[in-house]
Amino acid sequence: LGSSLKRKRMIMHLIKSSIMLLSLSFGALLFTSCASVPMMGLQQDQEAKEFKTEPSKSRIYIYRNENFGGAIKVTVTIDGKLVGQTASNTYFAVDVDSGKHQISCLAESNSQVEVNVKSGEAAYVFQEMKMGLMSAGCALEEVSAIIGQKAVRECKRAQANF
């Protein structure tokens, strides 16, 4: 009777351990595999990486140069208008009028940042993935041109809706 009880406990322990290992493996896969979003062509990507803006316009670069949360697409808006979705190592280059603009990312935990861009200049916004309770969250941060340009060069240009 004693050995039968020990055997059942060992089997239950193995089952629980297997379930935990599968859950952790699935979670790791979810946060490291790659999502797919509509992309711009190579020429448009290269042109945006010249970091030139029209004198009468401003440009906002929103980039996500990390692999964490790669299976998650994150919706991005500027001034409440849909820009599109980011995936790992993607960026948007969006031409806007000069002035203040509210950039948002929408995930389990949303984030917003306001940038103020002058005509002929660009702003750079880093989108960071955050661990969430049920799914990934996001955070936005305006960065310098030096940091932003280096990061954008590591990414591919995603297709923006405007």
The pLDDT, as a whole number, for residue 22 is 56
In the structure encoding, which two tokens stand for residue 16, read together? 């629980």
The pLDDT, as a whole number, for residue 104 is 96
Residue ranges of the chain with pLDDT lower than 50? 25, 28-33
> Which of 135, 131, 139 lies closest to 110 in space, CA to CA?
139
Model-level pTM? 0.77
Helix, strand or coil for residue 123?
A: strand
94-122 pLDDT, tens digit per residue, is 999 999 999 999 887 889 999 999 999 99
User: What are 91's strand-pairing partners?
Assistant: 63, 157
